[in-house]
Amino acid sequence: MTAPAPISAVPRQITPPEDEFATELAFLAAHDAGPRPPGWRLTPRAVVTFVMGSGGQPLALPEESAAAAELPRRLVVSQKFVGERALVERCVITLAGERGLLLVGEPGTAKSMLSELLSAAVCGTSALTVQGTAGTTEDQLRYGWNYALLLAKGPSREALVPSPVLTAMATGAVARVEEITRCLPEVQDALVSLLSERRVAVPELAGTADAQLHAAPGFALLATANLRDKGVSEMSAALKRRFNFETVGPIPDLDVETALVRRQSRAAVERAGAPYQVDDAVLEALVTAFRDLRDGRSAEGWEVERPTSVMSTAEAVSVAGSLALAAAYFPSERDVLGLLPGHLLGVIRKDEPADAACLRGYWDGAVRRRAEQGSQTWRTLWDLRSALED
């Protein structure tokens, strides 16, 4: 019987940015020797370059620096976030000022990805994360206890189990709180004093040097929140004042969004070991439909009824990946374009089954009119109208 591989050797579905782009991070650390905020791995300018890329232009290191660090002499830094550079610059300045940063926007607009990239560039890790849910407790934001040690030795620093937030405070790193508005109000309130006083009191260790755990220079809190979840657990005014808000919006350009969907869906399918067989016409139709339904208006200016469901870029990537896998595993059973109506229907009905009527209305309006204008792709989609009937 073959022994199982060590956990560290098992392939990962998702590679954290600090590992996936380790060469770029090391290169940028050597490339830009400018001033850095306390505890930062990169300069603020290099953090922006890491996130937004070098515009296709190679950056160069002095030959001696490249040899000493075993780095490439020249490197093109890839663009990882599709959005406004000014937005990323404001985010970096907020973190450099050690102020809380809250990324808000519709689901699927890459808020979490941006927070991961910023954390990886600033402090070398994106893993100091708390996932906000209705079940998140205050201990997950502060600390807990190793009860075996607690019973054996009593309260001590050794028995204390720090939360990711407390670990970030102790090391001067960036802590991330995902979906902060899904946390209950009393859990959110724990962040108010933490962000104001920059310390955590441990009453169980009263009388010792560890009764107050203070934040090291460089500590910052980066949170995300979906606009659709605004009413789940509304943030208090006191907590809002401790954050700078930045809105991450949908990608404004069709070609840019299509390229992103192609790139990310291709990567997901290739990880599965399957060939990517979704052509550009299918991808453009997919992204166009998502954008029309998201905006409530087609590219031609025709009115479109907006569904309740979020027609995000992330959902478009998921659909494109599903189409590609279907083409790879069932190559002779059905044309890829013929699968698109069913997948769109699945997305539309996630939040409200009655929204299927919105998709049928879209087919009877924008899809039909494009078909009448002579587009072969949209003509094929119009012929598939019956696939939308219950």
CATH of the domain at 61: 3.40.50.300
User: How much is the average pLDDT of 228-245?
Assistant: 85
For residue 196, is it within any domain? yes
Domain closes at, from 212, 232, 247: 247
Tally of CA atoms within 13 A in the half-sphere of 266 that contains its CB: 12
3-state secondary structure (DSSP) of residue 271:
helix
Structural contact between residues 126 and 89, judged by C-beta atoms closer than 8 angstroms: no
Highest mean pLDDT: which range of 107-111, 227-231, 284-288? 284-288
In a domain, residue 1? The reply is no
On average, the pLDDT of the chain sits at: 91
pLDDT at residue 209 in the model = 87
pLDDT at 333: 65
The verdict on residue 2 lying in a domain is no
Q: What is the three-class DSSP state of 288?
A: helix
Q: What is the reported pLDDT for 330?
A: 87
Same domain, 177 and 50: yes
340 vs 333 pLDDT, higher one: 340
- Tell whether 242 and 345 lie within a shared domain: no
Q: What percent of the chain lies above the pLDDT cut of 70? A: 95
Q: Are residues 263 and 239 part of one domain?
A: no
Give the Cα separation of 81 and 66 in Å (integer): 27
What local confidence, expressed as pLDDT, does residue 354 receive? 86
Residue-wise pLDDT tens digits, 269-281: 888 888 888 889 9
**Last residue of one domain, picked from the residues 231, 247, 263:** 247
Q: Is the pLDDT of residue 29 over 90?
A: yes
Lowest mean pLDDT among 7-16, 57-66, 169-178, 298-307: 7-16
pLDDT at 193: 86
If you count DSSP H runs as helices and E runs as strands, how many of each does the chain have, helices first? Answer: 17, 11
Q: Is residue 172 part of a domain?
A: yes
Q: Are residues 151 and 296 in the same domain?
A: no
What pLDDT, on a 0 to 100 scale, did the predictor assign at position 272? 84
Going by pLDDT thresholds of 50, 70 and 90, the confidence category of residue 353 is: confident
Q: Are residues 276 and 167 in the same domain?
A: no
**Cα 212 to Cα 205: distance, rounded to the nearest angstrom:** 8
62 plus 105 within the same structural domain: yes
Is 309 found in the same domain as 171? no
User: What is the predicted pLDDT for the residue at 2?
Assistant: 56
Are 190 and 279 found together in one domain? no
All residues at 6 or more sequence positions from 300 whose CB lies less than 8 Å from its CB, including other chains: 366, 369
Kindly state whether residue 359 falls inside one of the protein's structural domains: yes
Task: Identify which of 110, 56, 57, 105 has the alpha carbon closest to the alpha carbon of residue 81.
Answer: 110
| CB burial readout 98-135, b (16+ within 10 A) else e | bebbbbbbbbbbbbbbbbbbbbbbbbbbbebbbebeee
354 contacts: CB under 8 Å, gap ≥ 6: none
At a CB cut-off of 8 Å and minimum separation 6, what does 124 contact?
18, 25, 41, 173
Q: Mean pLDDT over residues 146-170, rounded?
A: 93
**pTM listed for this prediction:** 0.90
Predicted pLDDT of residue 8 = 56
- Final residue of a structural domain among 247, 271, 299: 247
Query: Whole-angstrom Cα distance, residue 61 to residue 293?
Result: 47
Determine the Cα–Cα distance for residues 130 and 175; give it in Å rounded to an integer: 8
Report yes or no on 15 lying in a domain.
yes
Q: Which domain holds residue 145?
A: 7-247
Residues 199 and 169: their CA atoms lie apart, in Å, by 8
> Residue 290 falls within a domain, yes or no?
yes
Residue 287 shares a structural domain with residue 162:
no
What is the number of structural domains in the chain?
A: 2
Determine the distance from the C-alpha atom of residue 177 to the mean position of all C-alpha atoms in its chain, rounded to a whole number: 12
Residues 75 and 224 in one domain: yes
* Same domain assignment for residues 275 and 291: yes
What's the mean pLDDT in 309-313?
A: 90
Tell me: pLDDT of 305 over 90: yes
351 plus 282 within the same structural domain: yes
Per-residue three-class SS string for 94-146: HHHCCCEEEEEECCCCCHHHHHHHHHHHHHCCCCCEEECCCCCCHHHCCEEEC
